[in-house]
Amino acid sequence: MNTVDVITNILICGTGGQGVMTAAEILAQTAVAKGWDVKKSEVAGMAQRGGVVTSHVRFGRKVHSPVITPGTADVLVAFEVAEGLRAIDYLRPGGIAMVNTIRLVPPIVSTGQFRYPDDPVAQMRAAGVAVVDFDAGAIARGLGDLRLINTVMLGAIADRLPFPAEELEDQIVGRFREHKPAMVAVNQRAFAAGRDAAASGKRARTMMAAEA
């Protein structure tokens, strides 16, 4: 079966202001550029005021429902680690969670009303989820601009999509080429760094499994 015949479901989650919407838009536009059908659902409501933000991106030959049904996401992209944990029930068996390890603690937690989980990634793994986790913020800072987290995260999932990574990269770079050409090279580096982080994360996991 051709890749386009199977609907690809990508769930992106995080908190308001992290760039979840932008990442979802870039993914969706990549699929549009291929001539595929795309639907992208946003739950933002009051998100700019610190709430949870999720975006459902679905593409293939023909997409009907704009929402991903729990248990059917191919890839979960978590911009924040506890938000990743909150969304694991969306993953299908064999799906993968790509997790930025940043912990964004809301006031409701810091004032002692609720607890932030000690190790959300461990909790995901304990539930059987395949997780690749890395500090996208550190990578972005290393490249000189925290706003590159978005591109790092997209790079991290680039090898798990039904189109070549280069098509996704073109879509990212295309947003800067005309108006901010200075941003092109650094975004390319961020994209490559995200791909590397995901690949080495997976290698580390495979080695651990082999040792065990």
Number of amino acids touching another protein (CB under 8 A): 58
Q: Are 155 and 140 in contact (CB under 8 A)?
A: no
Alpha helices in 34-135 (DSSP H): 81-86, 107-110, 120-126
* Position 89 contacts another protein (CB under 8 A): yes
Residue 144: partners with Cβ closer than 8 Å, 6 or more residues away: 186
Nearest C-alpha neighbor of 158 from the set 199, 120, 109, 117? 199
Choosing from 22, 25, 145, 205, the residue that interacts with another protein (CB under 8 A) is 25
The β-bridge relationship of strands 8-15 and 73-78 is parallel
Q: Are 15 and 83 in contact (CB under 8 A)?
A: yes
Choosing from 5, 6, 61, 105, the residue that interacts with another protein (CB under 8 A) is 105
Between 3 and 110, CB nearer to another protein: 110
Between 53 and 173, CB nearer to another protein: 53
- The interface mask with another protein, positions 123-142, x = CB under 8 A, is x---xxx-------------
* Position 144 contacts another protein (CB under 8 A): no
The β-bridge relationship of strands 52-60 and 73-78 is unpaired
Which residues here bind another protein, judged by CB under 8 A?
Answer: 15, 25, 28-29, 32, 35, 37-52, 63-67, 69-72, 82-83, 85-86, 88-89, 91-93, 105-117, 120, 123, 127-129
